[in-house]
Structure 1
Amino acid sequence: MMYIHFIINPISGSGKHNLSASYIKTQFPNTTYKIEVDYTQHKKHALQLTKSAILQNPDCIIACGGDGTINEVASSLVGTNIKLGIIPIGSGNGLASNLQIPNNFEKAISIIKKGNYKAMDVGQLNDNYFFSNMGIGIDALIIKKYEKAGKRTLSAYIKATLSAALEFKTFKTKVYFDNQHLEINPLLLFISNSNEMGYKMSLTPKASLFDGFLDIIIVPKLSFLEKLLLGYHVLRNSVDKFKKANRILIKDIRIEMPSKIFTDVQLDGEQYNLKTNQLSVRILAKSLRVLVD
């Protein structure tokens, strides 16, 4: 009998997704499957629920939510034999889209039932994991404003982006990778494992979850008109054609921000304030088993 443990974020996306324990149990015959379902009650609760579920030795743990919920569930599964499944009910659903997991409940559940999986890469920032992307530039401020808006909608994201574009100030940053040392003042220092951020937008359309590399996009301080041009390329998924965007493939990188004490970062679309000005980022190749079609 296959044991599948579901963790549902009831307020993911608009909070009107109607995914419930009763519905899930109708999709899995109790003669073949053991099904358990938990609901998150607050941010970081999925971390606790996943750790408790792991003690019961499930075959799969299914994250039902957006990229933030997936991050919390998957972070405890890195390096284990337990497979991650996804039912995407968030706003952007970037990782699910990259993995070609549909938003339709029945189709997503069909993938879970098939049980096929691939071992995907995982990014690590200090003691934290990320599965889609992270950043310390303007995107971190965008996410901070997006969370404060209280609405997980595309319009709220665009509003947060415009506000951050007017407010963000660059800061001196030192980066070390592949025996290179750069001193920069980036508008954007974005590190991605995935080819999509969410809402079908991408800064790294050539990135892969399975190639053993992280894609970095570094964009220096820009004029207002250059910011508009960058925004145009983001919407068209053509940042690689923006002349001031520098793309680098790396396996690990060290980042220092001498003028800072704490660092605002975004990890998989969630805002974090790290109590350090030194970051170590690396790829953990093929370290998470994820259910795919």
Structure 2
Amino acid sequence: MRAAMTQHDTVSPGDRQRRESGPLRCTVIVNPVRVTDIDERRAVVDAELAAAGWPAAHWVETTESDPGAGQARQAVADGYDVVFACGGDGTVRSCVEGLAGSDAALAVLPAGTGNLLAANLSLPDDPAEGVRLAVERGRRRMDVGEVDGQVFAVMAGMGFDAQLLDSASTKLKSVIGSPAYVVSALKHLRDRSMQVEIRIDDDAPMRRSARSVLVGNVGRLQGGVRLLPDAEPDNGQLEVAILAPRNLAHWVALAWGVLRRRKRVPNMEVLRGRHIVVTSERSEPREMDGDVIEPGRVLDVRVRPGALWLCVPQPDRTPDMAQRA
């Protein structure tokens, strides 16, 4: 991981003193649809907090109309120091949106099939370990991306990736987990390409025929696929992957190149920038962090550098970024 992700001197002296001495106040934002063992998780979380001498967490549930962003903003307004997001990718992304730009730290308690942010940064699945990680006070600043006023931490995309997410069966995901995305992907391999214009920062626009355009803050997709191994969540830039296979053989070559982690992957172009605008000739499916959003002709993505505090392992427990991304 880059040095910026291991520095501890980016907090103010007053904030450092508050975070490094005494117990912190926590809230847990839980998705009652994704999390079926709320009582058991609550017992685990409160037991770990009590063992650290911290007060019991305040618990609040997401709703259909507010999947986490409003609850996270309220937690910030109420002065909570740590916000646990307990749910799937949608819950985590919504909490990121509510916390971005604040001093409150996000801690992830994964519950779902994707868990993209946790997978990319090797955050633990076990809720007890997740609480202990937060209690140890390892904190890192990370960038977030923004699309249409909404924030994401992992990746936004247009085209094939959003199509496969939209058609992945919820029932199948609950039975077999991540392989459900592979089943969905096979349904769309022969769909037609997009004709897009891509503008990165102040560079001249480029015309491309593509099946998908992905803009990543980190590089790992559903199913553990490492599409963008050089993506770093703290460098103030986003990686852009343009996928342009035209037939089944091209898809096979692309997939093999990604799985083999080749420096140059066939039928895929990778660029980098701070502001990326993708404009298609027709409306296309779009997604952020594994959640399908409103289709559109434009995917306008900006990076917000260092906008989120994230609870991560202390430096002596942090694996190398090459192993995590």
In the alignment, is residue 287 of structure 1 matched against residue 307 of structure 2? yes
The answer on 1:188 being equivalent to 2:212 is: yes
Per-residue CA deviation, residues 152-208 of structure 1 (Å, 9 max, x unaligned), is 412311110101213x22122111124221111211211100121243212111111
Tell me, yes or no, if the aligned pair for 1:201 and 1:237 is still in contact at 8 Å.
Answer: no
Which of 42, 54, 61 is the aligned partner of 1:21?
42
Please point out which of 232, 239, 250 is paired with 1:208: 232
Q: Distance in 2 between matches of 1:192 and 1:237?
A: 20
How many residues matched? 287
Change in CA separation of 1:164 and 1:19 when aligned onto 2, cut-off 3 Å: farther
In structure 1, what is the Cα distance between the partners aligned to 2:217 and 2:32? 27
Shift of 1:290: 0.6
Give the match for residue 243 of structure 1. 266
Q: What is the match of residue 281 of structure 2?
A: 258
The match for 2:104 among 70, 76, 82 is 82
Gaps of 5+ in 1: none
Aligned-residue offset at 1:147 = 5.2
Return the offset for 1:66.
2.4
Quote the Cα distance in structure 1 between the aligned partners of 2:29 and 2:40.
11
Residue deviations 1:99-122, cap 9 Å, x none? 221112222111111122111010
The residue that corresponds to 1:64 in the other structure is 86
The 8 Å contact of residues 2 and 34 in structure 1, kept in 2 or not, is answered as: no
Deviations 1:109-151 (A, max 9, x none): 1111112211101011121111100110210101111156563
The structural deviation recorded for 1:23 is 2.7
Amino acid across the alignment from 1:35: A
Task: Report the RMSD for the aligned CA atoms in angstroms.
Answer: 2.3
Asked if residue 277 in structure 1 is aligned to residue 281 in structure 2, the reply is no
Consecutive unaligned residues in structure 2, runs of 5 or more: 1-22, 314-325
Query: Displacement of 1:239 after TM fit?
Result: 6.2
Aligned-pair identity in percent equals 20
Q: CA deviation at 1:22?
A: 2.8
Q: Please point out which of 140, 146, 150 is paired with 1:118.
A: 140
Secondary structure, in 3 states, of the residue corresponding to 1:27? Answer: helix
Structure 1 or 2: more helix by fraction: 2
Contact 2:287 2:293 in 1 (8 A): yes
CA distance in 2, matches of 1:252, 1:129: 14
- CA distance in 2 between partners of 1:271 and 1:19 (Å): 30
* Equivalence map 1:217-232=2 (5 Å): 217-232=241-256
> Quick one: distance in 2 between partners of 1:185 and 1:149?
34
